[in-house]
Amino acid sequence: MELIFELSKPGRSTADVSASDVPVVNIEDVIGRQYLRDDLDLPEVAEIDLVRHYTNLSRRNFGVDLGFYPLGSCTMKYNPKINENVAALPGFTGLHPNASDEFAQGNLQLMYDMQKLLSSIFGMAEFTLQPAAGAHGELTGVMMIKKYFESKGQKRPIILIPDTAHGTNPASGALCGFDTITLRSNAEGGVDIEHLNSLMTEDVAGLMLTNPNTLGLFERNIEQVAQIVHSKGGLLYGDGANANAFLGKTRPGDLGFDVIQLNLHKTFATPHGGGGPGSGPVGVSEALVNYLPVPRIVKNDPTYSWSASFPDTIGRVRAFYGNFNVIVKAYTYIRSLGTEGLTRATEMAVLNANYIKEKLKPYYDLPYDRVCMHECVFSGNRQVAQSGVHTSDIAKRLIDFGYHPPTIYFPLIVPEAIMIEPTETESKETLDAFCDAMIAIAQEAKENPQRVKDAPLSTPVSRLDEVLAARKPDVCWKKP
């Protein structure tokens, strides 16, 4: 397939713009140099060439609308299109973000109600919808923890983070000036209670606990963990990115969590990653309500308004009030499913993950063989020992079977990790076909390992130099 620059011919254009009645201005007089187009050397192509070029590119892409996307710890599930339709309603898309409160009553009510729904679902006193993504929510939560101790005149320099936490947790703590100390896991994949007891002092501000963790396992000793943290005056932070594993089954607030961040683009079926943007609401217990970001929505029955009259707030963390249209999609999802539907989604997510775990464990090592939650984590150690086939080879071979590879080499405590999250939206037939592919690759790794090592075999390009691409990216077009 040719590059679009190779299709370029001087003078070709995708549009014929009529003459403008706006006075001509010499752009060089305004910005002091040549117009940007000349600087960029943009391609010149006809409309049909442009359409065909990008259509062909799109057919080489992979997305959840095309096939199974078992990316662990990311919940790449199918998103009902009704959410998109509701978010596209003119009353949502046409409102200017600087419109006065009186012209935004419906939108303000939706956000206010959304905060109440999340507070009820997760057992927290209040929520903010302002953070733009999960890691941004983490940062917001840790900022409130820091402010809480500052208001009490306490200097607590340490945050504890388990070795099964999401990778952004240490960065969130460090950005707020905390020293992060790793908390070990026990043989079952949960918190090592003895190690927690030894680390939990009055210098510790809190524990950032991903629950279920990145092994896909629920913390069996969660109430004891909360008691240990609280006994030293610390706070328990919950990374709720994996919340689709417990909706309707338990509430973090009831388990002793003081803060929790969510990922609406994971749990509540809004686009993820490149299909975003995201949203990372943060819920807090009563002790932290005063520190929530401003402005906050205040209900003055029957109207709603913005208020910044909260003197202990950490301030604003996002322009305007977060990614509003993502919130609309999540609100639609929650209202569409209701309590029973959300609970059913969790049940199916857990069932699907355990189904894959049981089907594949005769063929791949399973370091933590216990009932999992929304995802299961295998190891490719067996394949490495048998024939030198690594997890990365298995992942690339899956592409030839028509599947997006799962997360690999994470969590770090599992060597040659293969993290699979089927989500609640996939059928048994899809899971069976995926498992058949994984079983076929395990068999191929024994009988014809070189074929697996050479994969993918069906793509326009096969093995790229990933290290070179990461360290010396070169995406610039150079004329031959």
- 321 alpha carbon, distance to own chain's centre: 19
What is the spatial distance between Cα 259 and Cα 125, in angstroms, rounded to a whole number?
A: 10
**pLDDT, position 83:** 94
| Backbone φ/ψ region at 442: left (φ over 0), alpha (ψ -120 to 50), beta | alpha
Q: Which of 301, 336, 371 is where one domain is finished?
A: 336
Cα four-point dihedral sign 115, 323, 317, 74: positive
* Contacts for 245 with CB less than 8 Å, ≥ 6 apart: 212, 216, 218, 346, 349, 350, 373, 374
Do 403 and 300 belong together in one domain?
no
Do 273 and 359 belong together in one domain?
no
Question: Which CATH number does the domain housing residue 360 bear?
Answer: 3.90.1150.10
**pLDDT, position 240:** 94
Between the CA of residue 302 and those of 105, 108, 298, 305, 307, what are the distances in Å?
Answer: 10, 12, 11, 10, 16
- DSSP-derived secondary structure for 244-283: GGTTTT--HHHHT-SEEE--HHHHT----GGG------EE
What is the spatial distance between Cα 87 and Cα 85, in angstroms, rounded to a whole number?
A: 6
pLDDT tens-digit readout, 135-172 = 999 999 999 999 999 999 999 999 999 999 998 999 99
Do 313 and 362 belong together in one domain?
no
Do 352 and 373 belong together in one domain?
yes
Do 164 and 279 belong together in one domain?
yes
Strands 235-239, 259-261: pairing kind = parallel
Question: Which CATH number does the domain housing residue 146 bear?
Answer: 3.40.640.10
Q: How many domains does the chain have?
A: 3
**pLDDT, position 38:** 57
- 177 alpha carbon, distance to own chain's centre: 24
Do 232 and 180 belong together in one domain?
yes
How does DSSP classify residue 315?
-
- 374 alpha carbon, distance to own chain's centre: 14
Do 260 and 309 belong together in one domain?
yes
Q: Which of 282, 304, 336 is where one domain is finished?
A: 336
- Contact in structure between 188 and 370 (CB atoms under 8 Å): yes
Q: Does the residue 11 lie in any domain? A: yes
Q: Does the residue 64 lie in any domain? A: no
**pLDDT, position 265:** 86
Q: What are the structure tokens assigned to 225, written together?
A: 């963990």
- Contact in structure between 406 and 216 (CB atoms under 8 Å): no
Question: Residue 288: which of 125, 173, 158, 131 has the closest Cα?
Answer: 125
* pLDDT < 50 stretches in the chain: none
- Contact in structure between 332 and 399 (CB atoms under 8 Å): no
Do 220 and 316 belong together in one domain?
yes
Q: Does the residue 66 lie in any domain? A: no
What is the spatial distance between Cα 392 and Cα 406, in angstroms, rounded to a whole number?
A: 10
Let me know how long the chain is: 480
In this structure, which amino acid lies at residue 461? V
**pLDDT, position 64:** 86
470: three-class secondary structure by DSSP:
helix
Do 31 and 164 belong together in one domain?
no
pLDDT tens-digit readout, 407-432 = 999 999 999 999 999 999 999 999 99
**pLDDT, position 273:** 60
Do 160 and 308 belong together in one domain?
yes
Do 185 and 259 belong together in one domain?
yes
Residue 457: CB atoms within 10 Å: 12
408: three-class secondary structure by DSSP:
strand
Q: For residue 401, give its domain range.
A: 346-469
**pLDDT, position 20:** 84
Do 272 and 351 belong together in one domain?
no
What is the spatial distance between Cα 327 and Cα 321, in angstroms, rounded to a whole number?
A: 10
What is the spatial distance between Cα 236 and Cα 293, in angstroms, rounded to a whole number?
A: 19
What is the model's pTM? Answer: 0.90
